[in-house]
Structure 1
Amino acid sequence: MTHSDSTDPTDTDPESLADRLRTHVSENRGGMLSDLVFAIVWVTGVSLLYDFAFANSPQWVLYMFMLAGIPAYFGFFISLEIAKKGQ
């Protein structure tokens, strides 16, 4: 991982917040997009399940399904990384 120090004392032109944000997004565009897609798919799937399949369930079931997205996220991307290394 690259480390960029925005407080470089030899830098005469400090970056603005917009410049730093633009740099961060351009360096991490693919990862941010895949994170966003995973989040949208997960929340949509859980919402549909809760609204239709578990319509009579208490509210905490929805919250547990949403929390299950955290290990699902890491499990999905770790297994995807392992699969890419295996090729």
Structure 2
Amino acid sequence: MTGVREWLQTAREERWGMLTDLVFAIVWVTGVDLIFRVLDGPDWAYYMFMAAGIVAYFGLVWSVEVAKEKQ
């Protein structure tokens, strides 16, 4: 019975992790797109900001892990 509980807990954590990933991606892409629609910046800067989302994502994940360890 404990195996089922552990499996359910892991599935629940993975689901919230995927939802967090999706929300971050939507917010980042929407934010960059809105900024570049307003400022009408160059294409290379647009793509650099999109790529910077990868670094920002890992920074978010790292800071969440650090915060969880401190609790």
Q: TM-score, normalised by structure 1?
A: 0.64
Residue ranges of structure 1 left out of the alignment (5+ in a row): 1-25
> Identity rate of aligned residues, in percent?
58
Task: State the secondary structure of the residue aligned to 2:20.
Answer: helix
Structure 1 stretches of 4+ with a deviation exceeding 3 A read none
Identify the structure with the greater helix proportion. Answer: 2
Residue ranges of structure 2 left out of the alignment (5+ in a row): 1-9
Which residue is 1:72 aligned to? 56
Quick check: which has more Rg, 1 or 2?
A: 1
Kindly state the Cα deviation for residue 85 of structure 1 after the two structures are TM-superposed. 1.0
Q: Number of aligned residue pairs: give it.
A: 60
Indicate the RMSD between aligned Cα atoms, in angstroms.
Answer: 1.4
Per-residue CA deviation, residues 33-55 of structure 1 (Å, 9 max, x unaligned), is 00000000100110111111x31
Per-residue CA deviation, residues 14-43 of structure 1 (Å, 9 max, x unaligned), is xxxxxxxxxxxx822111100000000100
Take 2:69 and 2:34, find their aligned partners in 1: how far apart are those partners?
Answer: 34
Q: TM-score, normalised by structure 2?
A: 0.77
